[in-house]
């Protein structure tokens, strides 16, 4: 139950699962769908379920009881009212007047044009009532069309008194777009999964943002797309969905989860870069269909980079190393080789040669993963983006750049590099 400082919350949930004039329209699954909504709103959100309407209402029962609830003297301006309507919906042909209609328990299949116009709900619940915070969940086929028409009707019905209360608003969540059919039971399932998904909101927010909820519902896939319409707002969107995970003391957990996710995304990008760019270039062949290691030569460059990596980390004047050369000279291949040597998994999986087989055995052989994790480069060395970088610049921290150009001599090149495969 809400505290004295919180607004009251009411849920009216109904579904037309059986049609007395057309049994082929029956959708027994809507009985469970309605119960799922009741359980979610009463157990997770703290709503009081108003059960007067029940299942399978007639057109008169639906409109009369919604009207009676909204006009009751017990209503207060800050009450939060949620209405869930599930059943069949149709869009009339233009020659029949057009518009979206709800098929109730007593709808005549031979006279669909006399079904309940969805836009009529706006007048029944808003005109001459104290309801200022209304959430309408339309779970019918083509409900997006009904939501649009109801919104237009509501805009005509909003009176001057509507804006005198803060945080008012009419919010319509449609289970399908104007020309989409809705699967029975899908909407409550999608809503519950979105509410329980930590991606919608962590422990910090007091209420779930409706935009985030709908986004997570649509992210689950499926043929139907949930729609959201908000009108008559006089401030923040009313807190229709209290956050079931809200706990100020656990806000730091949300930050930790977000940071971990960011780190993981960065690690994934580095892994893709290693395997799709650095490793392939280090293997020394431009032919994607040719496997094996064709890297040869570059011994002077390998030795000089090795010497730089082996410098003591404690040296206060230690410089960063910038490798420059013209386009196609092998910058990525050389630095990719060092990245591969530093990555045990990549080295084993790709068949990378042992360190002693490359460059100057006495020097390159002593380079290991720890040496390649330079303080100036917290991740394995990566080549500079772009080509033709010849002018080293001073770092903002004051550290000096050490320029190293890959200017090869024929003696440095192995046969495979003189004639690349």
The domain boundary residue, chosen from 246, 277, 295: 246
CB-CB contact of 137 with 37 (8 Å): yes
Same structural domain for residues 185 and 318? no
Same structural domain for residues 89 and 216? yes
Cα angle 359, 331, 405; round to 5: 85
**Is 411 part of any domain?**
yes
- Comparing 17-21, 132-136, 142-146, 154-158, the range with the smallest average pLDDT is 154-158
Same structural domain for residues 139 and 169? yes
Q: Where are the beta strands (DSSP E) in 5-91?
A: 9-15, 48-49, 80-86, 88-91
User: How many other C-beta atoms are found inside a 10 Å radius of the C-beta of residue 261?
Assistant: 11
Same structural domain for residues 24 and 71? yes
The domain boundary residue, chosen from 219, 246, 273: 246
Same structural domain for residues 235 and 289? no
**Is 2 part of any domain?**
no
**Is 258 part of any domain?**
no
By residue range, what is the domain housing residue 140?
A: 9-246
Give which of 332, 269, 273, 334 is closest to 298, Cα–Cα.
Answer: 334
Indicate the SS3 state at residue 342.
helix
Task: Examine the pLDDT at 8 and tell me if it is beyond 80.
Answer: yes
pLDDT the model gives residue 172: 92
Same structural domain for residues 229 and 356? no
Tokens, residue 412: 């440095």
* 401/145: higher pLDDT: 145
The domain boundary residue, chosen from 193, 220, 246: 246
Distances (CA, A) of 317 to 290, 313, 373, 380, 404: 44, 10, 18, 21, 17
Task: Examine the pLDDT at 167 and tell me if it is beyond 60.
Answer: yes
% of the chain residues with pLDDT over 90: 33
Helices 331-342 and 299-309, axial angle in degrees (round to 10): 50
**Is 253 part of any domain?**
no
CB-CB contact of 286 with 420 (8 Å): yes
Same structural domain for residues 225 and 304? no
Same structural domain for residues 210 and 94? yes
% of the chain residues with pLDDT over 70: 71
Task: Examine the pLDDT at 65 and tell me if it is beyond 60.
Answer: yes
Residues 6+ apart with CB under 8 A from 253: 202, 203
Mean pLDDT of 343-353: 57
Same structural domain for residues 281 and 348? yes
Task: Write phi, then psi, for 319 (nearest 5 degrees).
Answer: -100, 155
**Is 19 part of any domain?**
yes
pLDDT the model gives residue 108: 95
**Is 173 part of any domain?**
yes
**Is 3 part of any domain?**
no
What digits encode the pLDDT tens for the residues 118-131? 989 988 998 889 99
Average pLDDT, rounded, for the chain? 76
Same structural domain for residues 350 and 203? no
How far is 162 from 65, CA to CA, in rounded Å?
22
**Is 4 part of any domain?**
no
CATH number at residue 217: 3.40.50.1460
Task: Examine the pLDDT at 375 and tell me if it is beyond 70.
Answer: no
The tokens 């001599």 sit on which residue? 409
Helices 29-39 and 186-196, axial angle in degrees (round to 10): 20
Task: Examine the pLDDT at 302 and tell me if it is beyond 60.
Answer: yes
Same structural domain for residues 98 and 192? yes
Same structural domain for residues 158 and 234? yes
Q: Provide the domain count of the chain.
A: 2
């Amino acid at each position: 139950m809400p505290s004295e400082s919180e607004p009251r919350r009411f849920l009216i949930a109904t579904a037309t699962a059986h049609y007395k004039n057309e049994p082929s329209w029956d959708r027994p699954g809507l009985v469970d769908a309605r119960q799922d909504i009741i359980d979610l709103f009463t157990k997770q959100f703290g709503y009081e379920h108003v059960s007067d309407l029940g299942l399978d209402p007639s057109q008169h029962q639906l409109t009369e009881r919604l009207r009676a609830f909204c006009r009751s003297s017990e209503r207060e301006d800050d009450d939060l009212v949620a209405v869930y309507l599930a059943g069949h919906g149709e869009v009339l042909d233009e020659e029949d007047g057009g518009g979206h209609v709800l098929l109730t328990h007593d709808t005549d299949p031979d006279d669909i044009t006399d079904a309940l116009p969805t836009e009529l709900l706006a007048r029944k619940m808003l005109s001459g009532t104290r309801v200022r915070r209304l959430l309408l969940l339309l779970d019918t086929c083509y409900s997006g069309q009904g939501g649009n028409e109801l919104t237009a009707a509501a805009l005509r019905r909003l009176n001057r008194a509507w804006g005198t209360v803060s945080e008012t608003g009419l919010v319509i969540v449609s289970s399908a777009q104007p020309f989409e059919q809705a699967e029975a039971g899908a909407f409550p399932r999608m809503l519950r999964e979105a509410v329980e998904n930590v991606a919608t909101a962590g422990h910090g927010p007091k209420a779930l943002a409706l935009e985030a909820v709908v986004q997570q519902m649509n992210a689950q896939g499926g043929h139907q797309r949930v729609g959201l319409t908000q009108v008559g707002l006089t401030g923040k969107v009313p807190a229709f969905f209290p956050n079931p995970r809200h706990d100020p003391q656990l806000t730091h957990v949300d930050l930790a989860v977000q940071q971990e996710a960011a780190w993981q995304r960065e690690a994934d990008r580095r892994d893709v870069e290693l395997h799709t760019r650095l490793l392939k270039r280090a293997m020394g062949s431009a032919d994607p269909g040719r496997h094996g290691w064709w890297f040869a030569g570059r011994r002077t460059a390998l030795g000089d980079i090795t010497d730089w990596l082996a410098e003591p980390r404690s040296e206060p004047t230690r410089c960063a190393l910038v490798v420059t050369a013209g386009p196609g000279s092998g910058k990525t291949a050389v630095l990719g080789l060092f990245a591969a040597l530093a990555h045990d998994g990549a080295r084993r999986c790709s068949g990378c040669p042992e360190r002693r087989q490359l460059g100057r055995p006495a020097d390159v052989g002593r380079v290991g993963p720890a040496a390649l994790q330079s303080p100036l480069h917290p991740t394995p060395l990566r080549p500079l983006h772009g080509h033709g970088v010849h002018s080293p610049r001073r770092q903002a921290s004051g550290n000096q750049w050490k320029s190293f150009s890959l200017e090869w001599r024929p003696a440095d090149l192995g046969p495979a590099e003189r004639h690349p495969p």
